[in-house]
Chain A
Amino acid sequence: MLTDLTIHELAGLFRRKAATPTQAAREYLDRIAALDPKVKAYLTVTGEAALARAAEADARFQAGAPLSPLDGVPLGLKDVLCTRGVRTTCGSKILESFVPPYDATVVARLQRAGAVVLGKLNMDEFAMGSSTENSGFFTTRNPWDLSRVPGGSSGGSAAAVAADLAAATLGTDTGGSIRQPAAFCGNVGLKPTYGRVSRYGLVAFASSLDQIGPFTKDVEDAALMLQAIAGHDPKDSTSATVPVPDYAAGLGRGVEGLRVGIPAEYFIDGLDPEVESAVRAAIEILRGLGAKTESVSLPHTEYGLAAYYLIGPAEASSNLARYDGVKYGLRVPGSRDLIDMYSRTRGAGFGAEVKRRVMLGTYALSAGYHDAYYGKAQRVRTLVQRDFQHAFERVDVIVAPTTPSVAFKVGEKADPLSMYLNDVFTIPVNLAGLPGVSVPAGFTRAGLPIGVQVIGKAFEEETVLRTAKAYETATEWRKRKPELAA
């Protein structure tokens, strides 16, 4: 089955004319039709457009002139990325009918690379959540156990890759929204350095934290995806001008002599023992491959979560102010006046978690509280950044669990705080703007995936991916697939 394959395996078949992009697109579309009613990863499937793009790719391979390693490869996009002519909901009722007139820069880059977009993937509303239970439409299921969540907010993107409903997908990570679902669904999820990938066309949740990255079936595919989307974009003033290296080229260099830091603050009470032993085993494997491990300290880790839940909501309260019923998206009719239109539209269009964060953020920025909340959170952010700087004076990468636990049951985390705690190991990386990847690190006795996180210095995705690749090569985890009978 073509749907089993990684991007690089699929591209090899295309080049050898052993398969065509159209065959791949059809297999994926058939599989989506058969299995997605169970997994519920997709909000919108763009079958016709996908087949049209695939046919164009067929012709390029026939002519022996593929555009890139992604040419003809069927991909999915988190529904927070704007797609021209295809509705982009952000998982929210308020944008249920919103059709952007433009493509996000990453979408345009994937299309220029020849990729075939299968559709748009489910997510927590406006990327706020860790389970997709905050989607305004439905909850995506974890392919390894359909009674469990896939993680979030990019839950649809993670589940689609795990269930072979796309060769790879894009998600976004503001506080862990790529790495946590990648860990829960047993795939590779990469959050690049802040500024590495253009945010133009990514519907903002928290502008200073959001970053786009791939979900893939293996580390090599993550390098290929990053290659296609990374680089400066004049439309995003926060995108970096740092040169983009050849990510695939250095993957096989191994970890001999690499200095790996183990942060004590990430092995705490509340860490699932099965997760802990898997991560410790992963560290042993790296050591066996020649890496030098040492303990490092990130002393402000415990304050990261609190700072994040001020900065994120503060920016969100501002970014989401534009959804007012005036210009696009939902407008609830029958209002008495302007304020009534605003409150009815936003009251009906936003779900509970979005409202909670808009209120939190508005409060944190309001006169008299601004410095005590938003201001202090920014100072904590600086301390968290400094923690990493100090650690990275001694080590090349940091290895830690991605999440404190594995995928939980749908409906299990009823109170917001226990949900927020899921991101305790991923949030500091966003606060510091660093790259991080979650790689499969085994399974619990109940058969649920565990993720290990590799964190690197800014713009050193190469080192992060090289470490992940060395570990992946030494293990067999990626060969296991969830059982999903149609």
Chain B
Amino acid sequence: MSGEYEVVIGLEVHAQLLTRTKMFCGCSTAFGAPPNTQTCPVCQGMPGSLPVINRRAVEFGIKTALAIGCSVNADNRFARKHYYYPDMPKNYQISQYEEPLAVHGHLDVEAAGAARRIGIERLHLEEDVGKLVHEGSLETAQSSQVDFNRAGVPLMEIVSKPDMRAPEEAAAYLRALRAIVVYLGVCDGNMEEGSLRCDANISLRKRGAAEYGTKVEIKNMNSFRNVQHALEYEIKRQARALDTGERIVQETRLWDPDKAHTVSMRSKEFAHDYRYFPEPDLPPLDVEARWVEAVRATLPELPAARRARFMEAHALSAYDAGLLTGSRALADYFEAAVAGCGKP
């Protein structure tokens, strides 16, 4: 059974950035406004409109990149990713492809009592899509409307290396990453509302095998619990398939939390050809070393360092220190309380 297999997991995390305005226009990013009231020709993809890069979003990206040990590319560039869907005004998404904002970072996490270093492949910026509102359920709706308020909201995508070997590690990585973006104030980290989204790539291989197995992408896991449960389910499903000599199909599967299983969404074998090419409306973005250093100077103490300091300075257990540093506000409160009354 599954003991013969090694699990290989990589995560793609999308974080909505807490900028006041959108990635390529001046529209507000505030959540919950009446449909299509926070739009303009640019984020509606009107003919003739052109994008302008939000420097604050780039700064947030640099900040996060530095916090997870990435090197920031001096030359980076936006690219167009093409596919048709009505929630995407231009039918291409402005993203980054060959020249992302930052590469080669890592995150140290602890899972099942062991320290693990998870590699980070890349961090890049892109724009979010709008939202479809169906009358009735998706299957029976007679009409659908599009709300472009969310279209163009800045997203940061962080892609890990396939370095996680168990669902607990994936959940620990995600928790650590969430804590960092929240600490940095670049994302509110709300998974239920979708400001932090996670997709997983997971495959199984025989222990000792050099080659990776065929990977499956899992989407729609909007909580830490769901991430762990979905991966656990998927491990069982793939192991069972491999045991019976079945071939794993490279595909995207959706996690259904109510039925506690994953269902096939679309086969990657007929996947989109995104036809990436450099965005001609945006010249290459020159991220000077001076800019990176200026951002580095604004980095706060990060959760891991703070936890270590709490353990050391206040003789707290790893669990207690982890709990207290889980949110920046709580940690600040604790430190203020310590300062106020001496020994905790």
Which A residues form the contact surface with B (CB < 8 A)? Answer: 81-82, 88, 90, 95, 98, 100-102, 104, 199-204, 206-208, 234-238, 314-315, 317-318, 321-322, 324, 326-328, 338, 342, 362, 365-367, 370, 374
- Nearest opposing residue in chain B for A103, CB measure: B48
- Smallest beta-carbon distance A94→chain B, Å: 10
Q: A326-B86, A374-B277 known; 13 other A-B pairs, CB under 8 Å?
A: A199-B48, A203-B48, A204-B47, A204-B281, A322-B47, A324-B86, A324-B91, A327-B146, A328-B46, A362-B275, A365-B277, A367-B275, A370-B277
B48 near A208 with CB under 8 A, answer no
Residues of B within 8 A of A318 (CB): 80, 82, 92, 275, 277
- Nearest opposing residue in chain B for A204, CB measure: B48
B281 near A203 with CB under 8 A, answer no
Task: Tell me, yes or no, whether B84 is within 8 Å of chain A by CB.
Answer: yes
A-binding segment of B49-57, B193-201, B335-343: B49-57
Task: Tell me, yes or no, whether B32 is within 8 Å of chain A by CB.
Answer: no
- Nearest opposing residue in chain A for B87, CB measure: A326
Take A204-B48, A367-B273, A374-B277 as given contacts and tell me if A322 and B91 are in contact as well, using a CB distance cutoff of 8 Å. Answer: yes
Task: Tell me, yes or no, whether B90 is within 8 Å of chain A by CB.
Answer: yes
B47 near A237 with CB under 8 A, answer no
- Nearest opposing residue in chain A for B146, CB measure: A326
Contact residue among B41, B44, B46, B280 (Cβ-Cβ distance under 8 Å from A207) = B280
Among B245-298, those with CB < 8 Å from A are 273, 275-277, 280-283
B47 near A199 with CB under 8 A, answer no
A200 near B89 with CB under 8 A, answer no
- Nearest opposing residue in chain B for A82, CB measure: B48
Take A200-B49, A237-B50 as given contacts and tell me if A321 and B91 are in contact as well, using a CB distance cutoff of 8 Å. Answer: yes
Residues of A within 8 A of B51 (CB): 237
- Nearest opposing residue in chain B for A339, CB measure: B84
Query: Interface majority SS on B: helix, strand, loop or mixed?
Result: loop
Task: Tell me, yes or no, whether B105 is within 8 Å of chain A by CB.
Answer: no
- Smallest beta-carbon distance A334→chain B, Å: 14
Contact residue among B45, B84, B91, B281 (Cβ-Cβ distance under 8 Å from A237) = B281
When chains A and B are docked, how far (Å) is the Cα of A365 from the Cα of B92? 13
Give the most central of B48, B82, B146: most A CB within 10 Å: B48
Residues of B within 8 A of A101 (CB): 41, 46
When chains A and B are docked, how far (Å) is the Cα of A98 from the Cα of B275? 28
Residues of A within 8 A of B90 (CB): 321-322
Residues of B within 8 A of A338 (CB): 86
Take A321-B82, A362-B275 as given contacts and tell me if A237 and B48 are in contact as well, using a CB distance cutoff of 8 Å. Answer: no
Task: Please count how many residues in chain B sit with their CB below 8 Å of the partner chain's CB atoms.
Answer: 28
B89 near A322 with CB under 8 A, answer yes
- Nearest opposing residue in chain A for B86, CB measure: A326
B47 near A90 with CB under 8 A, answer yes
Residues of A within 8 A of B41 (CB): 100-102
Residues of B within 8 A of A104 (CB): 48
Which B residues form the contact surface with A (CB < 8 A)? Answer: 41, 44-53, 80, 82, 84, 86, 89-92, 146, 273, 275-277, 280-283
B283 near A238 with CB under 8 A, answer yes
Residues of B within 8 A of A100 (CB): 41, 46-48
B280 near A237 with CB under 8 A, answer no
Give the most central of B41, B47, B53, B275: most A CB within 10 Å: B47
Instruction: Offer 24 A-B interface pairs, CB within 8 angstroms, sorted by A.
Output: A82-B47, A95-B47, A98-B47, A100-B47, A102-B46, A104-B48, A199-B50, A200-B50, A202-B48, A206-B280, A207-B281, A235-B50, A238-B283, A318-B92, A321-B91, A322-B47, A322-B90, A327-B44, A338-B86, A342-B84, A362-B275, A365-B276, A367-B273, A370-B277
Residues of A within 8 A of B49 (CB): 200-201
B50 near A88 with CB under 8 A, answer no
A201 near B48 with CB under 8 A, answer yes
- Smallest beta-carbon distance A115→chain B, Å: 19
Take A318-B92, A366-B273 as given contacts and tell me if A327 and B47 are in contact as well, using a CB distance cutoff of 8 Å. Answer: no
B45 near A322 with CB under 8 A, answer yes
Residues of A within 8 A of B146 (CB): 326-327
B277 near A327 with CB under 8 A, answer no
Residues of B within 8 A of A237 (CB): 50-53, 281-283
- Nearest opposing residue in chain B for A101, CB measure: B41
- Nearest opposing residue in chain B for A195, CB measure: B283
- Smallest beta-carbon distance B267→chain A, Å: 16
When chains A and B are docked, how far (Å) is the Cα of A314 from the Cα of B279? 12
When chains A and B are docked, how far (Å) is the Cα of A436 from the Cα of B235? 64
Residues of B within 8 A of A95 (CB): 47
When chains A and B are docked, how far (Å) is the Cα of A101 from the Cα of B45? 12
B280 near A208 with CB under 8 A, answer yes
Residues of B within 8 A of A234 (CB): 52
- Nearest opposing residue in chain A for B42, CB measure: A235
- Smallest beta-carbon distance A147→chain B, Å: 33
B47 near A314 with CB under 8 A, answer no
Take A235-B52, A366-B275 as given contacts and tell me if A88 and B281 are in contact as well, using a CB distance cutoff of 8 Å. Answer: no
